[in-house]
């Protein structure tokens, strides 16, 4: 009887441990998008957009783009060393407080960035 209880407890623990493992992407970035403009303090990016959509809007003046609410724009402040260029795909991790400042476009401070291409 003790042997059956031991097997039953082992099976239950195995199931619980297996259910607790994350199957989500192990790369939990906060934003992903394309660089629209670079500057000394960071860059402006458009997120939640495909490469084809970016190619269609990249030459439109920023003033017109920011009026369009179809896409999400962010001014990313990043103090680390990086050589970003317009059109590059980038992943952004926010700082520990994940603050998005209310401005136009919204301003965020990046803890880390990764250029994808």
Q: Which residue has the higher pLDDT, 115 or 16?
A: 115
pLDDT in tens, 38-79: 888 889 999 989 999 999 988 888 888 888 778 888 899 888
Average confidence (pLDDT) over 5-15:
61
Strands (E), 1-117: 31-39, 42-47, 72-77, 89-94, 100-101, 107-115
The pLDDT, as a whole number, for residue 88 is 93
pLDDT in tens, 22-45: 433 456 888 999 999 988 888 999
pTM comes to 0.70
The pLDDT, as a whole number, for residue 80 is 76
The residue extents of the domains of the chain are: 31-115
**Architecture of domain 31-115 in CATH?**
Beta Barrel (2.40)
**Percent of the chain predicted with pLDDT > 90:** 21
């Amino acid at each position: 009887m003790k042997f059956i209880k031991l097997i039953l407890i082992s099976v239950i623990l195995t199931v619980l441990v297996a259910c607790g493992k994350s199957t989500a992407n192990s790369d939990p970035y906060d934003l992903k998008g394309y660089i629209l403009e670079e500057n000394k303090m960071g860059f402006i990016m458009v997120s939640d957009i495909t490469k084809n959509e970016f190619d269609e809007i990249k030459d439109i003046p920023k003033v017109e783009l920011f009026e369009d609410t179809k896409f999400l724009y962010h001014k990313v402040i990043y103090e680390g060393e990086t050589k970003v260029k317009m059109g590059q795909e980038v992943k952004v991790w926010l700082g520990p407080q994940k603050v998005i400042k209310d401005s136009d476009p919204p301003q965020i401070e990046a803890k880390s960035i990764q250029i994808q291409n």
